[in-house]
């Protein structure tokens, strides 16, 4: 009996050791697998990054080959499609975050024709909700040259931080293609609705992603949030997407699609005066 007991204990111990070795092996295996997966993901990310970089480089090259007098025919003055849409182009005045007039000749809001049509439909939808309300556009198409001016003016901020406030002109912005709009809603007296933060306000209270937080602290009022929600509802009715950091900015499509579909505005003089 004693003999059996010893054999039993030895067997159980051996089994235990084997099991824990196997567990350890499994853990090691998993760690190796995880590491190899991480490497694969990193490799994939770097391949994608290189691909994106190459795409951008080729777009840049094409642009360089174009004469800067090349006029973009596909854009329209949005008020020529719908005169009820109001404009207050902040970069055509000194009333902007840089406090200087950035546009020399642009004094109307231009978008790609199909984007402008969608915006016009948004205005019509807004009127069905409140006939006294209008869309008020702060910025539409914006040349790369002006994007560069904004970027250079903020040169005291490191590039990584800077891109939170202004898109790196090298990477382009949907605005450069006439595929993004900065706007709000105004009443019949042209008074913008209270959104709890102004246009180009870089504080987090302007971030749609922080609305719940500021609602809780009481810094953002429910009525202000309702106004933002109304703007988003109207814009989303035509497929415009908002971003997480600016309540006023809406994209008509992704940047990749904009690069594929639309001509890029490098300079202000690429806008035809016959459009005006
Ligand atoms: Zn914008």
What would the pLDDT profile of 7-24 be if each residue is shown by its tens digit? Answer: 444 444 444 444 443 444
* Rg, Å, the chain Cα set: 28
Cα 227 to ligand 1 centre (Å)? 18
Strands (E), 74-196: 75-77, 86-87, 110-112, 134-139, 180-186
Model pLDDT, residue 50: 61
The whole domain housing 229 covers: 68-275
Q: Which two tokens stand for residue 66?
A: 């174009």
Our count of domains for the chain comes to 2
Cα 160 to ligand 1 centre (Å)? 18
Are 148 and 240 contained in the same domain?
Answer: yes
Cα 181 to ligand 1 centre (Å)? 6
Beta bridge partners of 137: 87, 183
Query: Are residues 68 and 236 in contact, defined by beta-carbon separation less than 8 angstroms?
Result: no
Are 104 and 179 contained in the same domain?
Answer: yes
Are 21 and 57 contained in the same domain?
Answer: yes
Q: Which residues surround ligand 1, an ion (CB under 5 A)?
A: 182, 249
Model pLDDT, residue 48: 54
Cα 244 to ligand 1 centre (Å)? 12
Tell me the pTM: 0.75
CB atoms within 10 A of CB 226: 12
Query: Which residues lie below 8 Å from residue 267, measured CB to CB, with a gap of 6+?
Result: 68, 143, 144, 145
Are 85 and 197 contained in the same domain?
Answer: yes
Cα 72 to ligand 1 centre (Å)? 20
Model pLDDT, residue 19: 44
Please count the residues of the chain.
Answer: 276
Question: Mind listing the pLDDT tens digit for each residue in 164-216?
Answer: 778 889 989 999 999 999 999 999 999 999 999 999 998 999 999 999 999 99
Are 39 and 95 contained in the same domain?
Answer: no
Cα 230 to ligand 1 centre (Å)? 18
* CATH number (domain holding residue 138): 3.30.1380.10
| Short-list 236, 247, 167, 258, CA closest to 207 | 247
Are 176 and 57 contained in the same domain?
Answer: no
Alpha-carbon span 32 to 26, nearest angstrom: 10
Are 92 and 229 contained in the same domain?
Answer: yes
Model pLDDT, residue 141: 96
Residues of the chain with pLDDT under 70: 1-71, 273-276
Model pLDDT, residue 64: 46
Cα 173 to ligand 1 centre (Å)? 8
Are 103 and 191 contained in the same domain?
Answer: yes
Q: Is the four-CA dihedral 240, 243, 247, 249 of positive or negative sign? A: negative
Model pLDDT, residue 254: 96
Cα 25 to ligand 1 centre (Å)? 53
């Amino acid at each position: 009996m004693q003999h059996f007991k010893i054999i039993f204990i030895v067997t159980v111990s051996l089994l235990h050791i084997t099991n824990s070795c196997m567990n350890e092996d499994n853990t090691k295996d998993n760690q190796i697998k995880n590491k190899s997966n991480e490497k694969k993901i990193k490799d994939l990310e770097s391949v994608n990054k290189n691909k994106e970089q190459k795409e951008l480089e080729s777009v840049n090259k094409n642009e360089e080959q174009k004469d800067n007098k090349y006029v973009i025919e596909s854009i329209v003055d949005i008020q020529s499609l719908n005169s009820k849409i109001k404009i207050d182009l902040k970069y055509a005045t000194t009333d902007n975050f840089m406090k200087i007039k950035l546009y020399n000749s642009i004094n109307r809001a231009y978008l790609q024709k199909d984007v402008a049509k969608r915006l016009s439909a948004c205005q019509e939808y807004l009127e069905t909700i409140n006939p006294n309300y209008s869309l008020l556009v702060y910025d539409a198409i914006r040349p790369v040259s002006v994007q560069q001016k904004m970027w250079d003016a903020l040169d005291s901020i490191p590039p990584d931080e800077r891109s939170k406030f202004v898109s790196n002109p090298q990477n382009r912005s949907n605005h450069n293609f006439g595929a993004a709009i900065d706007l709000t809603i105004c009443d019949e007296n042209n008074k913008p609705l209270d959104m709890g933060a102004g246009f180009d306000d870089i504080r987090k209270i302007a971030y749609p992603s922080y609305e719940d937080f500021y609602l809780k602290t009481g810094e953002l009022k429910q009525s202000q949030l309702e106004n933002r929600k109304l703007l988003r509802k109207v814009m989303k009715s035509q497929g415009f997407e908002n971003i997480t950091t600016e309540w006023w900015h809406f994209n008509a499509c992704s940047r990749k699609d904009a690069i594929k579909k639309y001509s890029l505005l490098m300079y202000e003089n690429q806008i035809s005066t016959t459009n005006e």
